[in-house]
């Protein structure tokens, strides 16, 4: 038998120019041919064996077999696959074919190569990039423990030699990239106690994938059994129909094994002609980089059936906060004015609008760090109660009669300094904003908890000095609706505002000095919090928060992109 040649051939510089359009390549369209043990796998169980598992074991159905609809990158696989695919958009058809060459070392590390003849790639499709993306998804799925929903298993024993097993894939084992797969229903057919076929359909439920809306999806897998009891995929076909915008789309893919490599059985060639083709040293090759550095331990967590968000993100946020501020002291330019303005009878109404741009990264699956910059626009109205104290000052300096005359003279100029009253002082201030923060989170099935802490500093526009920092903490509890990729949560928000508002408005020509202030304020630092988050596709998410406390209320809107 001919031995497969492994040779690294660099891509030509014309690759990017020749492969342009993004095709409709549904996840699981490439690289799903694999082995599955005929006997139940000896894995460590983290929960009691369910009734569904016992029933499946009775029929010799293993978890590895059920996973073949999700991923073929299983431990120990050495294989070559051939993929033919076509996509027709509004009557314009594109066809391509490639080979996938997979080898796995003793530690389970996978080396995957895409081998192809440039002449058999459609010039308008970025087939290589799309296959890489889909294969990375499969790599992340290869060791999921909860590959199917055990509560959905239905066994129909048509006769002793013909059994049909139906189930749905687990909602807890699906990353964001293929969240749509939760709609899929699977029917596995056993003939004479051996896996014969597997059919996966979307059960008439449309779903979104990239720029496409898929209305019909059918995946057919035909199995074969080797002499050593291994179950292998003999052939797989995929058919999908949908729309891209208003244009109709038809997609077809056919996958078949070329050769399997087994430590005990050696090389098992399924198609000698295709093996000869892929072994030609003139065939081009590209290595698929399966691992990502971040989040650290991401694969470890995913292998336990826990989805991990995409590691990098950018977001824009808008926040509008209203505050009612009480006062307990007035210090203006070093002078205590409490005798002239009664703090207890004064109040400030503050509206702050902020716009920010944030970048973040998941260092660990449960630990996110972020930094942000932005602008804060503050409009405030201070209703200060004037005590009329100047009357006493005039009388003390000028006597009773002189004091009355002074009060009358000032009043004739339109300023009454000798009678109590309210003084309305409007303010508009613009600030620069910078900050850093972190989020820790845990989850169990639909439930999750998180705590976010951030530290912000502001600077009055035109000023070189940054003010004191503000610590914000948000503990939250939430519930996620897996079918809709949406979360709702409740919690609280702590704003570590100082009991004083102090600052410097800069040099005032009329005063011949800087205008400084130090005003004692009364604020409640805690507020309740409710909100929701909705994932839009695999990259976008929208978040809305509402805060309500004794002295403040706020609404926050955030649109983020993850990759």
DSSP string for residues in 523-543: ---EEEEEEEEEEETTTEEEE
Is 431 part of any domain? yes
Under DSSP, is residue 338 helix (H, G, I), strand (E, B) or coil?
Answer: coil
Is 393 part of any domain? no
Q: Which residues pair with 480 in a beta bridge?
A: 487
Is 525 part of any domain? yes
* Contact residues for 12 (Cβ-Cβ < 8 A; gap 6+): 118, 284
Counting beta carbons within 10 angstroms of the beta carbon of residue 538, is it exposed (0 to 12), middle (13 to 18) or buried (19 or more)? buried
Is 471 part of any domain? yes
Say whether both 100 and 150 belong to one domain.
Answer: yes
Say whether both 130 and 263 belong to one domain.
Answer: yes
Is 395 part of any domain? no
Of 274, 302, 330, the residue at which a domain comes to its end is 302
Which residues constitute the domain of residue 288?
A: 15-302
Say whether both 381 and 478 belong to one domain.
Answer: yes
For residue 64, CA distances in Å to 41, 53, 57, 73 come to: 8, 13, 12, 11
The rounded distance, in Å, linking the Cα atoms of 102 and 458 is 54
Cβ(252)–Cβ(241) below 8 Å: no
CATH number for the domain including 454? 2.40.128
Say whether both 228 and 363 belong to one domain.
Answer: no
Say whether both 524 and 381 belong to one domain.
Answer: yes
Give how many domains the chain has, as a whole number.
2
Is 187 part of any domain? yes
Say whether both 282 and 429 belong to one domain.
Answer: no
Say whether both 452 and 541 belong to one domain.
Answer: yes
Say whether both 68 and 124 belong to one domain.
Answer: yes
Of 302, 324, 341, the residue at which a domain comes to its end is 302
Q: Which of 507, 557, 499 is nearest to 533 (CA)?
A: 557
Say whether both 23 and 150 belong to one domain.
Answer: yes
Of 302, 337, 371, the residue at which a domain comes to its end is 302
The tens-digit pLDDT sequence of the chain (563 residues) is 333 333 332 333 333 322 222 222 222 233 333 334 433 333 333 333 456 667 788 888 887 777 776 665 443 468 899 999 899 999 999 999 999 888 877 766 678 888 999 889 887 777 777 777 666 666 655 555 456 778 888 999 999 899 999 988 776 656 655 666 777 889 999 999 899 999 999 888 888 877 889 999 999 999 988 777 778 888 999 999 999 999 999 999 998 999 888 777 788 888 999 999 999 998 998 887 766 678 888 766 665 556 677 899 999 999 999 998 888 777 776 677 777 777 777 888 899 999 999 999 999 989 999 999 999 999 988 887 787 777 777 778 788 887 788 788 877 777 677 888 777 778 888 999 999 999 999 888 789 999 999 999 999 888 888 888 899 999 999 998 877 889 999 999 999 877 666 666 666 565 566 766 677 677 889 999 999 999 887 789 999 999 999 999 999 999 999 98
Say whether both 293 and 338 belong to one domain.
Answer: no
The rounded distance, in Å, linking the Cα atoms of 318 and 535 is 18
Say whether both 501 and 426 belong to one domain.
Answer: yes
Is 405 part of any domain? no
Say whether both 146 and 267 belong to one domain.
Answer: yes
Is 295 part of any domain? yes
The 3-state secondary structure of 13-30 reads CCHHHHCCECCCCCCCCC
| Token pair belonging to 177 | 């990239």
């Amino acid at each position: 038998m001919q031995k497969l040649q492994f040779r690294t051939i660099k891509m030509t510089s014309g690759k990017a120019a020749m492969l342009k359009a993004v095709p409709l390549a549904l996840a699981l369209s490439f690289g799903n041919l694999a082995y599955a043990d005929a006997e139940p796998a000896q894995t460590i169980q983290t929960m009691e064996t369910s009734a569904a598992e016992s029933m499946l074991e009775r029929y010799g159905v293993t978890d590895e077999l059920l996973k073949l609809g999700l991923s073929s990158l299983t431990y120990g696989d050495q294989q070559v696959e051939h993929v033919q695919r076509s996509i027709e958009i509004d009557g314009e058809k594109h066809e391509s074919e490639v080979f996938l060459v997979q080898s796995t070392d003793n530690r389970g590390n996978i080396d995957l190569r895409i081998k192809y003849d440039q002449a058999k790639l459609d010039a308008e499709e970025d087939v290589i990039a799309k296959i890489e993306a889909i294969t990375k998804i499969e790599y992340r799925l290869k060791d999921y423990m909860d590959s199917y929903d055990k509560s959905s298993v239905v066994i129909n024993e048509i006769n002793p030699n013909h059994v049909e097993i139906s189930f749905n894939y687990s909602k807890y084992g699906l990353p964001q990239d293929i969240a749509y797969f939760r709609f899929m229903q699977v029917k596995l057919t056993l003939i004479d106690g051996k896996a014969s076929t597997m059919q996966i359909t979307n059960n008439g439920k449309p779903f979104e994938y990239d720029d496409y809306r898929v209305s019909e999806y059918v995946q057919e897998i035909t199995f074969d059994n080797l002499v050593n009891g291994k179950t292998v995929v003999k052939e797989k076909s995929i058919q999908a129909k949908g729309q891209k915008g208003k244009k109709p789309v038809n997609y077809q893919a056919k996958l078949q094994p070329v050769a399997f490599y087994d430590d005990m059985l050696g090389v098992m060639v399924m198609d000698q002609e295709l093996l000869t083709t892929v072994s030609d040293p003139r065939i081009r090759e590209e290595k698929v980089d399966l691992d990502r550095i971040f989040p650290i331990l991401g694969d470890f967590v995913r292998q336990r059936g826990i989805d991990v968000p995409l590691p990098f993100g950018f977001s824009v946020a808008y926040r509008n906060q209203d505050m009612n501020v009480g006062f307990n002291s007035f210090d203006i330019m070093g002078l205590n004015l409490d005798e002239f303005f009664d703090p207890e009878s004064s109040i400030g109404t503050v509206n702050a609008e902020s716009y920010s741009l944030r970048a973040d990264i998941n260092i660990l699956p449960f630990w996110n760090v972020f930094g942000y910059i932005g602008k804060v626009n503050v409009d405030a109205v201070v209703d200060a109660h004037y005590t009329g104290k100047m009357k006493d000052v005039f009388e003390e300096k000028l006597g009773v009669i002189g004091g009355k005359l002074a009060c009358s003279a000032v009043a004739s100029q339109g300023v009454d300094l000798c009678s109590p009253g309210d003084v309305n002082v409007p303010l508009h201030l613009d600030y620069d904003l910078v900050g850093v923060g972190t989020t820790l989170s845990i989850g169990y099935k639909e439930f999750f908890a998180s705590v976010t802490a951030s530290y912000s500093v502001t600077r009055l526009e035109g000023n070189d000095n940054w003010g004191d920092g503000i610590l914000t903490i948000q503990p939250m509890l939430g519930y996620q609706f897996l079918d809709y990729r949406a979360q709702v949560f409740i919690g609280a928000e702590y704003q570590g505002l100082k009991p004083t508002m102090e600052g410097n408005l800069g040099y005032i020509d009329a005063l011949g000095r800087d205008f400084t202030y130090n005003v004692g304020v009364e604020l409640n630092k805690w507020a309740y919090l409710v909100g929701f988050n909705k994932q839009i596709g695999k990259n976008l998410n929208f978040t809305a928060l509402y805060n309500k406390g004794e002295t403040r209320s706020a609404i926050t809107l955030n649109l983020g992109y993850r990759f």
